[in-house]
Structure 1
C-alpha cells in the first residue's frame, strides 16, 4: 500500500504553501500525483443600502477579493509543484458549501489521502466545520498540517493513539505507509482499561504483532492522564519521544457530542503540535 493520489485542500495563500509542501514531501517518496483543490465561496452581501439593494461596487470588490485569493492559492500551489517537477493538477470549485461541496468531497473520495491545514480560529483558514465535513464525508484518511511547524520534516517517529476502537483501528491501517517508513513507532494507550480479556499492561500488544508482520518496529506503552485532557497527554507524549506524526481515530463519540462538549478530536484539530493523521 502507498499513497499514489494525494488531494491537498487549500484555503488561503498562506496555508496553501504549507499544505502543498507537505503533499510534495509525500509525493516525492511515493511517486504520487497531487490534486490541488480550492473551494471559492460565493459573495454573500449583508449591507444596509437605499431600497434594500446592496451597492454594486461593494459586491464587485468582494468578488474581486475572492478571485484574487483563488489566484494566489493557485499560484502558490502551481509554483511549488512545477519547481519540484511533480505530477499534479488544479481544481477550483465555487459554492456555498466550502469543503463539503460535491466537487471537493468527490475528489477526496477518489484519493488515497487528503491533506488540509489545521483549524486555527485566529487566522482566515479552514473552519472547524470544514475539517469535520472532510472527515465525515470523504471516507478517506485526513492528514492535518500542524500550525506549529513551518514545513515538512522527515517523519522518523510516529505516535499511534490507541484505544482499541473501530476508528483507531482504521487510522492505523490507513497510516501504514507512514508506519513502514518510520524508524520507530509507539503504540500509546492513555488510561487503558483492565478487562477480562486483556490486561492494561498489554493493551496494543496484538496490534504491535500485526504491524511487525508488515516490517514495522512498534513498541507498546501506556500512560495515565493524571488530570490532563487526553489531547494534552498525547501532545505531551509526542513531544517526549520527538514524534513527527500522531495517528488517531476520529470521533469515537458522536459528532454532536463533540460539537457540544468537545473531545479529543476537536482539541487536536485545534492544538496538535505535530501533523496528525485522522480516520473514522
Structure 2
C-alpha cells in the first residue's frame, strides 16, 4: 500500500510554499500524482443602503482580490512543483462555500491523502475549512505545523490509541508511514476495562496486527497520572522526538468551538509534530 494521489490544500499565499514543499517530498517518496488545490471563498455581496442593492464596484473589487490570490497561489505551486518526473495537476475553485463546495469535495473524495497546514494564529481565517475536509472528505489528512518550514524524514511514529473507530481508521490510513518508519509506538493513556480486556493489555491487539504488516512496533501504556490525555500525548511527543503523531479526529458538532473533543482540539492548537488525522 502507498499513497498514489496526494492533494495539497493551498489555502493562502502565506502557506502555499510550505505545503507544496511537503507535498512534493511525499509525492516523490511514494511516486504519487500531486494535485494542488485552492478554493477561494467569495465574500458576502456589499449592499448599498437604503435600497439594499448590490454595489457593483465593491463586488468587482472583491472578485479581483480573490482572483489575484488564486493566481499567486497557483504561481507558487507550479514554480515549486514543476520538475522532471513529478506528475502534477492544478485545480482552483471560487464559490461562496470555499473548500466546502461540491467540486472541491469531489476531488478530495478521490485521493489517498490530503496535506494541509495547521492554522497559523496570524492567519486563522481559513481554519473552518480544515474542519470540512476532515469531517466530510472521508480521507486521511496530514497536518503540517505552521512552524515547520522544511520537510523532515518520518522515522519515529506515535499512534495515540484508545480503541475507538476513529483511532482504528487513522492507524490503518497511516500504514504507508508506519511500514516505512524505523520505529512505531502504540501509546495508550488511562485505558479502561473494555470487552474483557484489562488496561494493561490495551493496544496489544493492534500492536500485534501492525507487527504482522512488518511494522517495527512497541506498546506503552500510561495509567492515571492526574493530567489530561492531550497533555500526556504532548509530553510523550516532546520526550521521544516523535516525527509523526497518528490519531483519530473526534467530535460531533461542525462548529469549531464544539467540533473537536478536548484531546484533538488541544493537540491541533499546540501541535509540534506532523499529525495524521482520520475521521
The whole-number CA distance in structure 2 between the counterparts of 1:105 and 1:245 is: 26
Q: Partner residue of 1:18?
A: 18
Q: Partner residue of 1:142?
A: 141
Is there any run of 5+ residues in structure 1 with no aligned partner, and where?
none
**1:79 equivalenced with 2:79 (yes/no):** yes
Shift of 1:51: 4.9
Matches within 5 A, 1:176-255: 176-195=175-194, 197-224=196-223, 226-251=225-250, 253-255=251-253
Q: Partner residue of 1:173?
A: 172
- What TM-score, normalized to structure 2? 0.92
Contact 2:35 2:90 (8 Å CA) reproduced? yes
Shift of 1:256: 5.9
1:24-44 deviations in whole A, cap 9, x for unaligned? 111111100001111012232
Contact 2:42 2:62 (8 Å CA) reproduced? no
The whole-number CA distance in structure 2 between the counterparts of 1:91 and 1:204 is: 41
Shift of 1:116: 1.2
Q: CA RMSD in A?
A: 2.1
SS in 2 for 1:65: helix
Shift of 1:83: 3.7
SS in 2 for 1:197: coil
1:100-152 deviations in whole A, cap 9, x for unaligned? 1111111111001111111234315522x212211121111111111231121
The whole-number CA distance in structure 2 between the counterparts of 1:134 and 1:71 is: 22
1:203-261 deviations in whole A, cap 9, x for unaligned? 1111111111111011111224634332222122112111111000111x423697438
- Decide which moves more: 231-240 or 177-186: 231-240
1:68-109 deviations in whole A, cap 9, x for unaligned? 110111111111111464111000111111111111111111
The whole-number CA distance in structure 1 between the counterparts of 2:114 and 2:269 is: 18
Matches within 5 A, 1:51-62: 51-53=51-53, 55-62=55-62
Shift of 1:55: 4.8
SS in 2 for 1:210: helix
Q: Partner residue of 1:70?
A: 70
Aligned residue pairs: how many? 278
**1:41 equivalenced with 2:53 (yes/no):** no
The whole-number CA distance in structure 2 between the counterparts of 1:85 and 1:13 is: 25
Contact 1:118 1:147 (8 Å CA) reproduced? yes
Matches within 5 A, 1:87-166: 87-124=87-124, 126-127=126-127, 129-166=128-165
The whole-number CA distance in structure 1 between the counterparts of 2:237 and 2:194 is: 27
- What TM-score, normalized to structure 1? 0.91
The whole-number CA distance in structure 1 between the counterparts of 2:180 and 2:108 is: 24
Contact 2:134 2:278 (8 Å CA) reproduced? yes
Contact 1:20 1:80 (8 Å CA) reproduced? yes
The whole-number CA distance in structure 2 between the counterparts of 1:85 and 1:154 is: 21
The whole-number CA distance in structure 2 between the counterparts of 1:255 and 1:263 is: 13
SS in 1 for 2:82: helix
Is there any run of 5+ residues in structure 2 with no aligned partner, and where?
none
